[in-house]
Amino acid sequence: MPTTPINTFAPPFETIELRRQLSAFLDQLVADPHTGNQVPVGNYKFGVYAFFDYDGEPIYVGQTNERLRTRIRRHLTNQRTDAVAMKVLDPFEVYEIEVWPLPQYEALSTSATEAKKHLNWLELNVFKTLIDKSHFHAILNEKDPFEVPDNGYSVPQSWRGRVVSDEVFEIRQHPDTRIARRAETLSLLAKVISERQVQRGLRRTLLTQAKRLAWLAERRLDALASLPEGSEINDEQ
């Protein structure tokens, strides 16, 4: 029996670290181009965000009109989004975040038409740009962003940062750990699809996730194949 009492009210170490790193990223002060004031980047109401995995691969793109902080935290800390609930997005995979705020609309209501048009355009632009940079030319989003006309909009300045501490990185970065987690996510997504009548987009996400799993497993196998004969650890010894 353990002699040290366990604090059952405290979240696990990795959860604490995620919240700490996420807060540090969202609380970073940036110069607002319209007021000149220093404001936390996560406080902007309108913006687009993207998540990247441990290989720098883009895995999810979204938009918000309720503050970047609120939306991103909902994805990563309390699982109250369709993307997480449907097993499209695994918060465990998120290593970095990039955000593109639209500060010029800060004084407008969340339903402002002009802000929404620019937001839709920006999400589509970021989505297409990141797909072009992806090894798989795909992102895990179930649905593509809306196609909207280009009304002379421009892509605003973005901020990108890690949300995984060095300590958590050491726990999670091993490819076998990531392969196991990705395989579990793939299985859960397949289960969701088998139990519901879903749209084509979710099946596309399943295929993309399967390709990501196969790619990671193949890299792991290739790395082991390059080792000298007899240098692998024998689990049976």
pLDDT by residue (tens digit) across 156-176? Answer: 999 999 999 999 999 999 999
pLDDT in tens, 99-118: 999 999 999 999 999 999 99
- Is residue 2 over pLDDT 80? no
pLDDT digits (tens, 9 = 90+) for 9-41: 678 888 899 999 999 999 999 999 888 899 999
pLDDT over 90 (residue 8) = no
Class of domain 13-165: alpha beta
Question: 84-104: per-residue pLDDT in tens?
Answer: 888 899 999 999 999 999 999
**pLDDT above 80 (res 79):** no
pLDDT at 80 over 70: no
Sequence-distant (6+) residues with CB within 8 A of 189 are 86, 87, 88, 202, 205, 206, 209
Q: Which long-range contacts (CB under 8 A, 24 or more apart) does 52-55 make?
A: 52/94, 52/95, 52/96, 52/97, 52/98, 53/93, 53/94, 53/95, 54/93, 54/95, 54/164, 54/172, 54/173, 54/178, 55/135
Burial 127-163 (b: 16+ CB within 10 A, else e): beebbeebeeebbbbbeebeebeeeebeebeebeebb
Q: With 0-12 CB in 10 A as exposed, 13-18 as middle and 19+ as buried, what is 166?
A: exposed
State mean pLDDT over 190-200: 90
pTM, to two decimals: 0.90
pLDDT at residue 236 in the model:
45
So what's the pLDDT on residue 72?
95
